[in-house]
């Protein structure tokens, strides 16, 4: 099916892109990798008259370390880049794991992290890893720039805190102080090109005395938005597990299942999804904890 007609713009700076977006208003759409936008246009669900591509703007396609602050991800970093980057694998492997499970190699080569967050699918493979890493997003528009925690960004399926005239310009991952590890598991009904039935990401950080300083678990596809689970953080904070089979991980996994709000659809029942949240959370916690034990 052919795409509807549109004018194509390729600004070379963020400021230029912002002023174009301000000028054309609701008639315009930002283009990153196009794996969502072009599909919607082909299906005639969207027919923007003006397409503003970010692809000619330099410096948006990579991650870099910012002195003292942490890691900065360019919004045009693709899933393939995030999965393969040495920096991401070494510093925040949970994101590399999530990115490696997104779609297929073809999709991963095009799909960007910025586009993935703006699309706000409950089953996103990148949102849970970024949530457990305490990521923040920077948005730029005619009223200036603002930065907000990713946990305040998702409002509902396909809905975010981004205004129509704002561009997502950066994703910030704060510095991680101590020994840390993360894990991601995606459950689908088949092994490739699959949207998650349930996914879970976890991130653990150890204190000097070997107790858990910080624990964060996020869930995908079991609520209208990718979901953080504060009760899991509460149960695990300050605990010194005996080993990776410590019952506290079971207790935390049960709490995650209680926080999930799954629905029944043609791909799985709510009960099955809730049960799998418990199993997958337990597995990610055990996996992350065993990585930690190898590091100490
Ligand atoms: C076959 C197929 C399989 C898929 N499988 C998965 C999967 O397994 N897991 C998963 O999570 N996703 C999956 N997706 C969804 C998709 O690939 C991701 O959501 C992708 O990351 C979107 O990024 P993009 O660069 O292609 O966005 P685009 O399509 O370019 O843009 C998406 C939306 O975000 C807006 N936008 C993009 N970047 C910005 C920005 N910087 N600032 C403001 N607005 C912006 C656009 O205007 C548009 O509204 C799949 C898609 C397809 C077609």
**Are residue 226 and residue 264 in the same domain, yes or no?**
yes
Could you tell me if 185 and 165 lie in one domain? no
User: Between the CA atoms of 158, 47, 112 and 188, what dihedral angle is there, to the nearest 10 degrees?
Assistant: 50
Give a yes or no: residue 143 inside a domain.
yes
Both tokens of residue 24? 């054309």
Is 160 in the same domain as 188? no
Other beta carbons within 10 angstroms of residue 254's beta carbon come to 16
- Do 208 and 246 lie in one domain? The reply is yes
CA of 35, closest atom in ligand 1: 26
35 in ligand 1 pocket by Cβ < 6 Å? yes
Verify that 33 and 103 share a domain, yes or no.
no
**Structural domain boundaries, residue 106:** 64-174
Q: Is 30 in the pocket of ligand 1 (CB under 6 A)?
A: yes
In a domain? residue 28: yes
Nearest alpha carbon, ligand 1 atom 5: 103
Ligand 1 contact, 97 CB (< 6 A)? no
HSE (side-chain half, CA atoms, 13 Å) at 51? 17
pLDDT for res 67: 80
pLDDT score for 13: 96
Whether this model's pTM surpasses 0.95: yes
C-alpha of residue 120 to centroid of ligand 1, in Å: 9
Residue nearest to atom 2 of ligand 1 (CA): 103
- Does residue 59 lie in a domain region? no
Rounded to the nearest angstrom, the distance between the alpha carbon of 276 and the centre of ligand 1 is: 26
For the chain, first and last CA: distance in Å?
56
Tens digit of each residue's pLDDT (9 = 90 or more) over 123-166: 999 999 999 999 999 999 989 999 999 999 999 999 999 999 99
Contacts of 20 (CB under 8 A, 6+ apart): 9, 11, 28, 50, 52
Distance 131 CA to ligand 1 centre (A): 18
pLDDT in 10s for each residue of the chain, 296 residues: 789 999 999 999 999 999 999 999 999 999 999 999 999 999 999 999 999 999 999 999 999 998 878 999 999 999 999 999 999 999 999 999 999 999 999 999 999 999 999 999 999 999 999 999 999 999 999 899 999 999 999 999 999 999 999 999 999 999 988 899 999 999 987 777 778 899 999 999 999 999 999 999 999 999 999 999 999 999 999 999 999 999 999 999 999 999 999 999 988 899 999 999 999 999 999 999 999 999 88
15 and 85 share one domain = no
Determine contact, residues 117/190, Cβ cutoff 8 Å. Answer: no
Helices (H) and strands (E) in the chain, counts: 11, 14
CB atoms within 10 A of CB 207: 15
Task: Indicate whether 272 belongs to any domain.
Answer: yes
The answer to the question of residue 2 being in a domain is no
Protein residue with its CA nearest to atom 4 in ligand 1: 103
Q: Cα of 56 to ligand 1 centre, how many Å?
A: 18
Q: What is the CATH number of the domain that holds 14?
A: 3.30.43.10
Residue 193 lies inside a defined structural domain of this protein: yes
- Considering the domain architecture, whether residues 216 and 235 belong to the same structural domain is answered as yes
The answer to the question of residue 1 being in a domain is: no
Please give the distance, rounded to the nearest whole angstrom, from the Cα atom of residue 39 to the centre of ligand 1: 10
Same domain, 194 and 235: yes
Note whether residue 141 is domain-resident. Answer: yes
Q: Report the pLDDT value the prediction gives residue 296, as an integer from 0 to 100.
A: 85
pLDDT computed for residue 69 by the predictor: 83
The CATH number covering residue 148 comes to: 3.30.465.10
One DSSP character per residue, 207-249 reads: -TTSSEEEEEEEEESSSSS-EE-HHHHHHHTT---SSTT-HHH
Instruction: Assess whether the C-beta atom of 119 lies below 6 angstroms from ligand 1.
Output: yes
Tell me, yes or no, whether 163 and 188 share the same domain: no
- The domain boundary, picked from 154, 174, 194, lies at 174
CA nearest to 199, candidates 77, 79, 101: 101
Position 192 scores a pLDDT of 72
One domain for residues 189 and 290: yes
What CATH code is carried by the domain that includes residue 197? 3.30.390.50
Give the model's pLDDT for residue 178: 85
Share of the chain above pLDDT 70, in %: 100
9 vs 24: CA distance, rounded Å:
11
Q: Contact at 8 Å (CB) between 27 and 48?
A: yes
- 186 and 231 in a common domain: yes
């Amino acid at each position: 099916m052919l795409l509807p007609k549109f004018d194509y713009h390729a600004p070379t700076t963020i400021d230029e892109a912002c002023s174009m977006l301000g000028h054309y208003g609701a008639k315009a759409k930002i283009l990153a990798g196009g794996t969502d936008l072009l599909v919607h246009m082909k299906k005639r669900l969207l027919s923007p008259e003006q397409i503003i591509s970010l692809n000619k703007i330099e410096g948006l396609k990579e991650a870099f370390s910012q002195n003292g602050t942490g890691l900065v991800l360019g919004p045009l970093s693709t899933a393939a880049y995030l999965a393969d980057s040495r920096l991401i694998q070494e510093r925040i492997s949970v994101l590399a794991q999530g990115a490696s499970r997104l779609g297929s190699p073809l999709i991963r080569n095009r799909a960007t992290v910025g586009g993935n967050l703006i699309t706000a699918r409950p089953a996103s493979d990148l949102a849970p890893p970024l949530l457990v890493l305490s990521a923040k997003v920077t948005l730029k528009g005619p009223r200036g720039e603002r930065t907000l925690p990713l946990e305040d960004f998702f409002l509902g399926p396909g809905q975010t805190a981004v205004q129509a005239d704002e561009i997502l310009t950066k994703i910030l991952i704060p510095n991680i102080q101590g020994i840390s590890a993360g894990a991601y598991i995606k459950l689908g009904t088949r092994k490739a090109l699959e949207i998650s039935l349930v996914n879970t990401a976890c991130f653990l950080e150890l204190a000097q005395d070997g107790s858990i300083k910080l624990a964060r678990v996020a869930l995908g596809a079991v609520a209208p938005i990718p979901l953080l689970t504060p009760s899991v953080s509460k149960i695990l904070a300050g605990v010194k597990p005996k080993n990776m089979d410590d019952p506290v991980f079971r207790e935390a996994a049960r709490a995650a299942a209680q926080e999930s709000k799954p629905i029944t659809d043609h791909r799985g029942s709510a009960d099955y999804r809730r049960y799998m949240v418990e199993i997958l959370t337990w597995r990610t916690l055990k996996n992350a904890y065993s990585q930690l034990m190898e590091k100490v």
